[in-house]
């Protein structure tokens, strides 16, 4: 979970309201494998403001919900793991309708 406190753009006199984000996953481990459902939910709590007024329509508040598969594999010999996560848009407003593909490699030092 995290909060995004955007700064004001002094050139355009535009500021984005506070956004909260929760990333989550429900997974099951099977030996070195881990698989399940991952996603995120984001909601903007304050209106976007430009020149002291809320931006139309309705403060341009963001919300987004995305879900998708996640699979990971542990590599004990290397003290490492690799993970693939794909999130597909389920619902969104005032944001980008994007599919995200994330590949992560972790290695203990």
Reported pTM: 0.83
Q: Which residues contact 44 (CB under 8 A, 6 or more apart)?
A: 16, 17, 18, 19, 61, 62, 63, 94
Residues 23, 32, 39: CA angle, nearest 5 degrees:
15
Domain residue ranges in the chain: 2-107
Tokens standing for residue 42: 């984001």
**CA–CA separation, 103 vs 86, rounded Å?**
9
Q: Which residues contact 101 (CB under 8 A, 6 or more apart)?
A: 84, 85, 86
In tens digits, the chain (109 residues) has pLDDT values of 999 998 899 999 999 999 999 999 999 999 999 999 999 999 999 999 999 999 988 889 999 999 999 999 999 999 999 999 999 999 999 988 899 999 999 999 9
């Amino acid at each position: 979970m995290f909060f995004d406190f955007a700064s004001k753009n002094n050139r355009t006199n535009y500021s984005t309201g506070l956004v909260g984000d929760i990333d989550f996953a429900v997974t099951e481990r099977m030996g070195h494998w881990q698989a399940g459902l991952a996603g995120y939910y984001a909601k903007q709590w304050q209106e976007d403001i430009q020149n002291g007024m809320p931006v139309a329509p309705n403060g341009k508040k963001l919300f987004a919900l995305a879900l998708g598969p996640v699979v990971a594999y542990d590599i004990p010999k290397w003290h490492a793991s690799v993970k693939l996560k794909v999130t597909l848009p389920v619902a969104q407003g005032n944001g980008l309708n994007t599919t995200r593909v994330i590949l992560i490699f972790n290695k203990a030092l």
